[in-house]
Amino acid sequence: MRNMWVVIKETYLRHVKSWSFFFMVISPFLFLALSVGIGFLQGSSMAKNSKIAVVTTVPSVEEGLKGTNGINFDYKDEASAQAAIKDEKIKGYLTIDQEDSVLKAVYHGETSLETGIKLAVTNKL
């Protein structure tokens, strides 16, 4: 029986000291770190340029949308908003006008408006 424990101990130590055992133990942690790193880089690159501007002459709309994330009111006319899109400062701009007490909103941008931002804007109006 004593010889069997010696064989088990020697076999275990031989396998633990091998490179394959080391990589088998460390690989899940490396995979997890790689996945988190790629997700972080992708999320930060998408969030960098996800702001849209709102160009409106209706004060109640500006007050209602004031606290919404990703929306700014820095541009007062469409020309300055278009220039900001070309400079890649914003992703697009939303023009909101009031015609006979009906709000009309039109989105202008190089890409389509993301669903999360679109829902936030339509729920506030």
Collapsing DSSP states into helix, strand and coil, what is residue 93? strand
For the question of whether the overall pTM of this predicted structure is more than 0.75, the answer is no
Q: What pLDDT score does 59 carry?
A: 82
Q: What pLDDT score does 123 carry?
A: 44
**Which residues fall within 8 angstroms of residue 81, CB to CB, at 6 or more apart?**
53, 55, 75, 90, 93, 108
> Beta partners for 17?
none
pLDDT tens-digit readout, 57-116: 888 888 888 877 778 888 888 888 888 888 878 888 888 888 888 888 888 877 665 554
**Topology annotation, domain 49-124:** Rossmann fold (3.40.50)
- Taking the C-alpha atoms of residue 52 and residue 85, their distance in angstroms, rounded to an integer, is 9
Q: What pLDDT score does 36 carry?
A: 94
CB under 8 A, 24+ apart: contacts of 25-30: none
pLDDT tens-digit readout, 7-46: 988 888 888 888 888 888 899 999 999 999 999 888 776 6
- Taking the C-alpha atoms of residue 105 and residue 20, their distance in angstroms, rounded to an integer, is 61
- Taking the C-alpha atoms of residue 69 and residue 5, their distance in angstroms, rounded to an integer, is 65
